Amino acid sequence: MKATRSAATLDDLDSVFKGFADPTRIRLLSALAAGELCVCDLVDILGLPQPAVSRHLGYLRRTGLVEVTRDARFAHYRLAEPDNAVHQNLINCVRTCFRGISSLDKERRQAEARVKTRAMEPC
| pLDDT tens for each residue of 67-109 | 999 988 889 999 999 887 888 888 888 888 888 899 999 999 9
pLDDT > 70? residue 1? no
DSSP line for 23-92: HHHHHHHHHHTT--EEHHHHHHHHT--HHHHHHHHHHHHHHTSEEEEEETTEEEEEEPPPSSHHHHHHHH
**Is there a domain that residue 109 lies in?**
yes
**Is there a domain that residue 2 lies in?**
no
pLDDT digits (tens, 9 = 90+) for 55-70: 999 999 998 899 999 9
Total domains present in the chain: 1
**Is there a domain that residue 3 lies in?**
no
User: Average per-residue pLDDT in the chain?
Assistant: 88
Q: How confident is the model at residue 26 (pLDDT cuts 50, 70, 90)?
A: very high
Residue 66 structural domain: 10-114
**Is there a domain that residue 122 lies in?**
no
**CATH number for the domain including 104?**
1.10.10.10
- Confidence (pLDDT) at 5: 53
**Is there a domain that residue 120 lies in?**
no
